[in-house]
């Protein structure tokens, strides 16, 4: 969602800010702007639309070695130039960028209007600029702190004053903010990808903290002016990981990266000899793991689908009751936290507001919540009681692909640990772990089908509606296949349990509504084939995902994508890959912006 960047140093600020904003594009946005300070004056340029338009609008000779920038994803007010950030106070001496939502902005705005302040945008954020102006008497940090004391809601803020050259005040409450430390220059951003080209030394600003930045240094404190000392951390991601590396899009790169990202997630964690696994960050003793009687998973979007697969897996293999629930629903139904239950909050970004707030509510009720996150140092990762980093590497495309298979990998490892403490024998554990270890090379084989899948996508991309059917552990994969197609191609798609179609969805079937059937060679294979025949009898076109050599499926379906055989419980990792490629090629065929689909944001930091 919205992104913020700041720079104070020795180099021209505008190109660095624009470059930083470009790196944050992937989060999703609809307008962008920058403000640069030079010779006691702050210049603001902001534009509705893509960074390219902003870049064209920025005067080529713009001077100034400090500034702030923003990509906006509209919440309050339309998408237009006025509502884009940075916002200024009336004098134009103060500019601010804000991520998050100020919940009491209406009350604050009414008061400011009464006092004669003039607003030029419909945003909640503009109140911050006027409040800082109201309280400013020569010390920007103090004015920002006084203003923040009045705000209710969430924010990641950057603020500058024309009279204090080189100084940027940052503050955080609920929206991420990272400080990057260079030599004689400082960077601020909502996300490390914006500064990785310049520095890998970062300080994560926490909720309630304010950072006062100049080119020479920084000082962190709380709203009551108590100094807070911070640890400098090192980013392990490499710059080439956030570049396309020869691929036409980030999404395609990330789909093809999966054999490596899954391998990374398993490295040092698979114990083939003992048919077991190790996960260092769980922060639970063996006794505590043994005492767990129930597991609950909360997440949103694709991460929720990973949670649904995990719930099935944990029950089947480890025989522990497990459910997955949408985080957005958990928070508001006054959840009951039972003794001996363990929670997982699953989130690629580690910043999703729905998941974070549900996690906090559960923790408030005494739950032990582990995080399954990709972004190191993200809020969910930091606030959880332990967990697993999936080590997928940066995921830039809005539609999640490699993070999904890496989240599943983390759950497979966790399940092996739990299962081996309970019912899984050494022999069966060894078989499972061996087959899990073979998944990356199986996915390599699936990726070789890319051109075949592209031809299929050309054939079906004209469909208005699409159904995805799976059963058992692959039912959530059908949901994920449908979500991928919706997200990036805008074709209406729904996922169903293949058994469920006769209870309603079959009414949708006609010659123009294709169905994608997931048919692994498991105990539900025959029943799923029967469901597929029911669709064919009603003239519905059918594509099937089936296991190599399954000619019976080939006899019924119009088209088949064959995948290699694996363990029954491991098919989700393999089945999802052709679905990702199919959605991808449908979207390309329709000329969609695959990496930044309309209306979507990579990390949704509002409820
Ligand atoms: C957004 C993204 C989805 C993602 C979901 C959860 O809606 O567009 O791709 O699955 O958030 O994100 P998380 O970072 O919590 O996994």
State the pLDDT at residue 20.
Answer: 97
Tell me whether domains 3-235 and 247-437 share a fold. no
CATH class of 247-437: alpha beta
- Minimal-distance CA residue to ligand 1 atom 7: 301
Query: Token pair for residue 142?
Result: 């103090």
Q: Is 47 a catalytic residue?
A: no
Model confidence at 260, in pLDDT bands (50, 70, 90)?
very high
**Closest atom of ligand 1 to CA, residue 352:** 15
**Is the model's pLDDT at 75 over the cut of 90?**
no
**Is the model's pLDDT at 103 over the cut of 80?**
yes
Cα 299 to ligand 1 centroid, rounded to whole Å: 9
Given the residues 46, 145, 200, 602, the one annotated as active site = 602
What is the average per-residue pLDDT within 90-111? 96
Model confidence at 19, in pLDDT bands (50, 70, 90)?
very high
Cα 304 to ligand 1 centroid, rounded to whole Å: 9
Q: Is 486 a catalytic residue?
A: no
Query: Token pair for residue 589?
Result: 């065929």
- Minimal-distance CA residue to ligand 1 atom 8: 602
**Is the model's pLDDT at 464 over the cut of 90?**
yes
Q: What's the Cα-to-Cα distance from 194 to each of 177, 189, 380, 596, rounded to whole Å?
A: 11, 6, 20, 17
Domain ranges of the chain: 3-235, 247-437, 445-607
The architecture that CATH gives domain 3-235 is 4-Layer Sandwich (3.60)
Residues touching ligand 1 (Cβ under 6 Å) are 300-303, 347-349, 352, 355, 398-400, 600-604
Cα 600 to ligand 1 centroid, rounded to whole Å: 9
State the pLDDT at residue 348.
Answer: 97
Q: In whole numbers, what is the pLDDT of the chain averaged over residues?
A: 96
What is the average per-residue pLDDT within 543-567? 97
Question: Is residue 518 within 8 Å of 469, Cβ to Cβ?
Answer: yes
What is the average per-residue pLDDT within 241-262? 94
**Is the model's pLDDT at 136 over the cut of 90?**
yes
Residue with tokens 């702190």: 145
State the pLDDT at residue 28.
Answer: 83
**Is the model's pLDDT at 80 over the cut of 80?**
yes
Q: How many C-beta neighbours within 10 Å does residue 413 have?
A: 22
Model confidence at 307, in pLDDT bands (50, 70, 90)?
very high
Q: What is the pTM of this model?
A: 0.89
Residue with tokens 């029943």: 527
Cα 301 to ligand 1 centroid, rounded to whole Å: 5
**Closest atom of ligand 1 to CA, residue 355:** 15
**Is the model's pLDDT at 476 over the cut of 90?**
yes
Q: What is the dihedral of CA 275, 257, 237, 29, to 10 degrees?
A: -130
CATH class of 445-607: alpha beta
Q: Which string of DSSP letters, residue by residue, matches 35-56?
A: EEEETTEEEEEEEES-HHHHHH
> Of 601, 595, 486, which is closest to residue 251 (Cα–Cα)?
595
**Closest atom of ligand 1 to CA, residue 400:** 9
> Of 95, 97, 53, which is closest to residue 73 (Cα–Cα)?
97
Cα–Cα distance between 34 and 51 in angstroms, integer? 10
Q: What's the Cα-to-Cα distance from 579 to each of 36, 259, 395, 398, 484, rounded to whole Å?
A: 45, 16, 18, 16, 8
**Is the model's pLDDT at 1 over the cut of 80?**
no
What percent of the chain stands above pLDDT 70?
A: 100
State the pLDDT at residue 240.
Answer: 82
- Tens digit of each residue's pLDDT (9 = 90 or more) over 557-592: 999 999 999 999 999 999 999 999 999 999 999 999
Mutate to test the pocket of ligand 1, among 27, 301, 407, 580 (most ligand atoms within 8 A of CB): 301
How many Cα neighbours within 13 Å face the side chain of 173?
16
Angle between the N-to-C axes of helices 402-421 and 258-266, in degrees from 0 to 180, rounded to the nearest 10: 30
**Is the model's pLDDT at 473 over the cut of 80?**
yes
Cα 28 to ligand 1 centroid, rounded to whole Å: 11
**Closest atom of ligand 1 to CA, residue 600:** 8
Q: Where are the alpha helices (DSSP H) in 365-495?
A: 379-383, 402-421, 426-437, 439-447, 450-460, 475-489
Model confidence at 206, in pLDDT bands (50, 70, 90)?
very high
State the pLDDT at residue 43.
Answer: 97
């Amino acid at each position: 969602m919205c992104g913020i960047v700041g720079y104070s140093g020795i180099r021209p600020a505008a190109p660095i800010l624009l470059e930083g904003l470009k790196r944050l594009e992937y989060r999703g946005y609809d307008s962008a702007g920058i403000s640069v300070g030079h010779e006691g004056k702050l210049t603001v340029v902001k534009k509705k639309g893509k960074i390219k338009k902003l870049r064209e609008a920025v005067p080529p000779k713009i001077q100034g070695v400090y500034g702030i920038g923003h990509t906006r994803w509209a919440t309050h007010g339309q998408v237009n130039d006025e509502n884009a950030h940075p916002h200024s106070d009336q004098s134009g001496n103060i500019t601010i960028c804000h991520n998050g939502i100020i919940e009491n902005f209406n009350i604050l705005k009414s008061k400011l209007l009464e006092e004669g302040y003039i607003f030029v945008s419909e945003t909640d954020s503009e109140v911050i600029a006027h409040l800082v102006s109201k309280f400013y008497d020569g010390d920007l940090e103090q004015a920002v702190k006084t203003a923040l004391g009045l705000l209710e809601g969430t924010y990641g803020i950057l603020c500058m004053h024309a009279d204090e050259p080189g100084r940027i005040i940052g503050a955080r409450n609920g929206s991420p903010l990272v400080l990057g430390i260079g030599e004689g220059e400082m960077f601020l951003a909502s996300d490390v990808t914006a500064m990785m080209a310049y520095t890998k030394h970062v300080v994560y600003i926490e909720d309630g903290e304010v950072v006062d930045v100049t080119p020479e240094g920084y000082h962190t404190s709380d709203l009551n002016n108590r100094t807070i000392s911070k640890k400098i951390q090192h980013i392990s991601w490499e710059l080439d990981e956030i570049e396309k590396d020869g691929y036409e899009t980030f999404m395609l790169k990330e789909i093809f990266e999966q054999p490596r990202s899954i391998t990374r997630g398993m490295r040092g964690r698979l114990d083939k000899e003992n048919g077991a696994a190790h996960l260092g960050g769980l922060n639970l003793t063996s006794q505590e793991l043994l005492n767990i009687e129930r597991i609950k998973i909360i997440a949103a979007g694709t991460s929720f689908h990973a949670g649904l697969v995990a719930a099935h897996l944990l029950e089947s293999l480890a025989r522990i009751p497990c459910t997955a629930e949408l985080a957005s629903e958990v928070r508001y139904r006054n959840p009951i936290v039972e003794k001996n239950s363990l929670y997982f909050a699953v989130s690629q970004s580690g910043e999703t507001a729905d998941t974070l707030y549900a996690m906090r509510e559960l923790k408030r009720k005494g739950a032990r919540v582990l995080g399954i996150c990709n972004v190191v140092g993200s809020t969910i990762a930091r606030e959880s009681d332990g967990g697993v980093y999936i080590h997928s590497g940066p995921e830039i495309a809005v539609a999640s692909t490699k993070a999904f298979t890496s989240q599943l990998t983390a759950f497979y490892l966790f399940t092996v640990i739990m299962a081996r403490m309970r019912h899984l024998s050494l022999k069966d554990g060894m078989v499972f772990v061996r087959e899990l270890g073979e998944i990356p090379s199986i996915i390599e084989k699936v990726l070789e089908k890319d051109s075949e899948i592209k031809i299929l996508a050309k054939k079906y991309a004209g469909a208005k509606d699409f159904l995805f059917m799976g059963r058992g552990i692959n039912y959530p994969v059908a949901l994920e296949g449908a979500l991928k197609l919706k997200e990036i191609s805008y074709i209406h798609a729904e996922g169903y349990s293949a058994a469920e179609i006769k209870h309603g969805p079959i009414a949708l079937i006609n010659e123009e509504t294709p169905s994608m059937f997931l048919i692994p060679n498991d105990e539900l294979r025959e029943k799923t084939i029967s469901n597929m025949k029911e669709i064919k009898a009603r003239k519905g076109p059918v594509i099937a995902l089936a296991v190599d050599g399954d000619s019976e499926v080939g006899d019924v379906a119009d088209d088949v994508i064959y995948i290699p055989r694996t363990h029954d419980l491991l098919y989700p990792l393999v089945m999802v890959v052709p679905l990702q490629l199919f959605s991808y090629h449908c979207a390309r065929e329709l000329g969609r912006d695959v990496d930044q689909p309309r209306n979507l944001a990579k990390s949704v930091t509002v409820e």
